[in-house]
Chains A and B, each alone.
Chain A
Amino acid sequence: MWDYSEKVKEHFFNPKNAGAVVDANATGEVGSISCGDALRLTLKVEDETEVILEAGFQTFGCGSAIASSSVLTEIIKGMTLDEALKVTNQDIADQLEGLPPEKMHCSVMGREALQAAIANYRGEEWKDDHEEGALICKCFAIDAVMIEEMVWANKLRTVEDVTNFTKAGGGCASCHEDIEAILEKVLAEKGEKFDPTAAPVEAPAKIAAVKAPLTNLQRIKKIEEVLESLRPALMADGGDVELVEVIGNTAYVNMTGACNGCQMAAMTIAGIQQRLMEVMGEFIKVVPASEMAKLVNIEVA
């Protein structure tokens, strides 16, 4: 089954604010029964201040859907509506200490229920602006609809193009067959033929409308943050990790203490890399700093 965080389990087994709020003056209903997730969020909003006094949820869904709903109600209680509108699905996932990629849509559903409820309170109509497709790339949680749209919009032709524009396919590469199938389908609709050796399209100036790429400085800072968060676990095993250099998307690290040379070092490095990719949403390679010497030699040669 899923590797849920303790936080997800906590909110699932002991959900907060379950049930409808009595005298609610805002209701948001989202989800789709065919997908197996549906959420009704009810709020009691103080009219003068627009502060959310109470929030309640009713959810049909899996463990992470219930946990996302529960944590959402906790996050927004006490916020003004304008503050609440700034809550992102990533905030929900972060509060839950992460969600498996297949389950990120549960946090999206939470945010959308919130937007729908606020729209309802303000007498506006809320319109869902995205459609969800089957998950294609697990490394970066990218679904089929997103890939198809990018292929159409940017005239993508190869898997490499898709990776450049959406990140999909840039990790373990096991989704490449599925990405090729999407390319074949969309290109056929446009009356073209898929050619795996086609030249790449123009370098993506507006790379991944999803998210702007990190600058080098941002990347280094982010990597340090992640390493910092992992440090306690490593120290518990008598080891430590230190960031030595970042070149492009490769992070060179020194494993010290018990981690250095221990059999687990390779596994630990793989674990760090996984975590970095999850947090940063881009492909990062983690390499022991000792490998840097080789790099220098190559560059000199």
Chain B
Amino acid sequence: MTDIYLDNNATTKVDPAVVDVMIPYFLEQYGNPSSIHKFADGVARGLKQARQQVQALIGCEHDSEIIFTSCGTESNSTAILSAIKAQPNKKEIITTTVEHPAILSVCEYLEKEGYTIHRMPVDKAGRLNLESYKKLLSDNVAIVSVMWANNETGTIFPVVEMAEMANAAGVMFHTDAVQAVGKIPMMLQDTKIDMLSVSGHKLHAPKGIGVLYLRRGTRFRPLLRGGHQERGRRAGTENSASIVGLGKACELALEFIEYENTKVKAMRDRLEQGITEAIPHCFVTGDIYNRLPNTTDIAFEYIEGESILMLLNKAGIAASSGSACTSGSLEPSHVMRAMDIPYTAAHGTIRFSFSRYNSMAEVDEVLKVMPGIVATLRKLSPYWDGAGPVADPEKAFAPTYA
């Protein structure tokens, strides 16, 4: 069995068809799109086509609403910093406790500069309370930034509805849709979303290319000033090969979006069901009724995630974990803490994320090894005793804090 890649929310394989369309932009059409000679005369057309392919996938009204950036992180920073620079009198930002660091760190930084950050909590299933959201919306809010889908649990937030509410209150709305674009259908022109972030490498395009969707008429201040690229909204010579690659990837994603929501979802469901049936003391985290079709995040109690990953890796299976140890921090993932998952489980969460490149045979392979891996580690665990957890684990083993 060849290695099994179930870490597609971290990044994806570049589709070979994407690589094919990129190569000429390295070797032949390598001219600067702004130049007037034959090394460049096809580039502008390539970029234009890519813009339209992105436009089709996210369903926006104009292709000029697409700004190419260097990554999802840049798109997120651009959106938030633009909103506060364009509206200097508004000193509040609304976001959630479970955003990606690409949003949370920017907010933390702005907090030090005197901004008030409202981080909306989630319940145990990772859901927001829209009543309290409504109360936060006011004239003082510069921007709401809420992710479309969570990278760890796949939980989908009602961003379309939340954008309507923001719009009604006259507040700008941004969504980090890095995990959602290409996995669930969207039609931005029917929404009140003002800005949206996309990252190429999550949908089989290369790393280091992203998009900021900017609704026409939304007040904007560029992050990078310089040349006239992207109509002056993002200076810097275009990454033409990657842009063209992203365009192709968007075209493919649109083609496969039904497959993603049927076949890919079926693989995810089978894995999830198989694991929760075969292994005691594990549970799925997040809002299982509103979730990306490709993601499952399972907490294995009384064992630690990095150990699980190392044993999975030895079995040729790639996944990821929300444990503290994988990131080198002392706390388990902020998403697990926000959902109030107990520590004995939060450290043992494993995320399996699929793509159209996976197969049912791979699911069966994972199901074969997973129970053994969990049993091996539980045998080492001070919280586990033979066939089950020790009675009242938090008390039976209460070590001195070191």
A residues touching B (Cβ–Cβ < 8 Å)?
1, 9, 12-13, 15, 18-19, 29-40, 57-66, 100, 102-103, 108-109, 112-113, 116, 126-128, 131-135
* Most interface-central of B305, B306, B347, B399 (chain A CB within 10 A): B399
B399 & A29 in contact (Cβ 8 Å cutoff): yes
By beta carbon, the residue of chain A nearest B383 is A60
By beta carbon, the residue of chain B nearest A29 is B399
Q: Which of B342-363 contact A (CB under 8 A)?
A: 343-344, 347
**Distance to closest chain B CB from A291 (angstroms):** 35
29 A-B pairs within 8 Å (CB atoms) are namely A13-B311, A13-B314, A15-B380, A19-B380, A29-B397, A33-B343, A33-B344, A35-B330, A36-B332, A38-B382, A39-B399, A58-B382, A59-B380, A60-B344, A60-B347, A60-B383, A61-B325, A62-B323, A63-B307, A63-B325, A64-B325, A65-B325, A66-B380, A103-B328, A108-B402, A109-B402, A112-B402, A128-B400, A131-B401
**Distance to closest chain A CB from B175 (angstroms):** 29
Q: Which of A36, A64, A133 contacts B347 (CB 8 A)?
A: A36
Q: Which residues of B contact A134 (CB under 8 A)?
A: 329-330
- B157 CB within 8 Å of chain A: no
Q: Which residues of A contact B382 (CB under 8 A)?
A: 29, 38-40, 58-60
Q: Which of B309, B328, B344, B402 contacts A102 (CB 8 A)?
A: B328
5 interchain residue pairs of minimum CB distance: A62-B325, A102-B328, A62-B306, A29-B399, A58-B382
B400 & A126 in contact (Cβ 8 Å cutoff): yes
A12 & B397 in contact (Cβ 8 Å cutoff): no
- B331 CB within 8 Å of chain A: yes
B residues touching A (Cβ–Cβ < 8 Å)?
302-307, 309-311, 313-314, 323-326, 328-332, 343-344, 347, 379-383, 394, 397-402
By beta carbon, the residue of chain B nearest A15 is B380
The answer to whether A36 and B381 touch (CB under 8 A), given A30-B402, A132-B402, is no
* Cα–Cα, bound, A164→B118 (Å): 39
By beta carbon, the residue of chain A nearest B325 is A62
* Cα–Cα, bound, A116→B400 (Å): 9
**Distance to closest chain A CB from B348 (angstroms):** 9
* Cα–Cα, bound, A1→B308 (Å): 13
* Most interface-central of A1, A19, A108 (chain B CB within 10 A): A1
The answer to whether A66 and B307 touch (CB under 8 A), given A34-B343, A128-B400, is yes
By beta carbon, the residue of chain B nearest A32 is B401
A sample of 18 more A-B contacts (CB under 8 A), given A1-B310, A31-B401, is A12-B307, A13-B314, A15-B380, A19-B379, A29-B382, A34-B343, A36-B304, A36-B323, A36-B347, A38-B383, A58-B382, A60-B304, A61-B307, A65-B325, A102-B328, A103-B325, A108-B402, A112-B402
Q: Which residues of A contact B305 (CB under 8 A)?
A: 62
* Cα–Cα, bound, A33→B323 (Å): 11
A128 & B402 in contact (Cβ 8 Å cutoff): yes
**Distance to closest chain B CB from A253 (angstroms):** 31
Q: Which residues of A contact B328 (CB under 8 A)?
A: 100, 102-103, 135
By beta carbon, the residue of chain A nearest B399 is A29
**Distance to closest chain B CB from A250 (angstroms):** 30
* Cα–Cα, bound, A38→B399 (Å): 7
* Cα–Cα, bound, A156→B394 (Å): 40
Q: Which residues of A contact B331 (CB under 8 A)?
A: 34-35
**Distance to closest chain B CB from A25 (angstroms):** 18
B326 & A1 in contact (Cβ 8 Å cutoff): yes
* Cα–Cα, bound, A103→B307 (Å): 13
Q: Which residues of A contact B347 (CB under 8 A)?
A: 33, 36, 60
**Distance to closest chain A CB from B242 (angstroms):** 26
* Cα–Cα, bound, A32→B324 (Å): 12
